[in-house]
Structure 1
């Protein structure tokens, strides 16, 4: 069996025969012995680094939960891609399940919908939690999806304040 570098461990005895000057011996502490302290000394504790850490933690936990939901549904990535339809590939599902990519909320909701799952979101403020209850608004019969590029939809520059809408509504 071929040994990988990551499978090799060393002890102090392995280095006992090396001729290291006494003043330099403390410089050879194992790198992992205080890796967290070294990392914390290199990365300043600022609002920006805390925000970046929270984003990364969200990506990791979200993608882990998405993979678990797919596996609970006993589906492969390819089977889920087929359920999503519209030319969605297994590689797209794989990217969506990876924490290395930014995730658009619409893509996550499509993914979960294909699994017959919902996303629960809560905003935590200093005054307490505020649940985001989009399920009530988007529940059965309450909303219908109309693509933005649907041929029968005409956009009006002023929206509902446009004089055309005021004439039709009157």
Structure 2
């Protein structure tokens, strides 16, 4: 990540939360299929950057369900997430970043562990192609406007929490 790039320009929506953190908290929104009750975020700006370069967020979905998301421009590339439940876990490596690397999904349950390997692919190309197909055919996009608004609302709440140092309620 180049410190002179748009990711470091607050006027252009820069910062780790919007550039890389959004992928992690969007996975949590997808997994729980709802808006969290509240969120909390803390940030660090390496070298006096004008934007957050590292962040950690906690999304509280109520009933003992939560998501912990960490993201950064400051440490090595990662593109993974893990979902843990009462009956097992799913870990996804190379979830969205590297078009020349396979995606490995590890599913662990009390009955054992198995892996699914997906071929290398460019997720941004797939996103653009899916959007183009929706426009051409008039079909609903894979990600709805409501889902996109929810992701933006949660991102804004994380920004507010990091700025104020307090939890932000969303429901």
Specify if TM > 0.5: no
Q: Which has the higher helix share?
A: 1
TM-score by length of 1: 0.26
Tell which has more relative contact order, 1 or 2 (C-alpha 8 A, sep 6+).
2
Q: Which has the higher strand share?
A: 2
TM-score by length of 2: 0.25
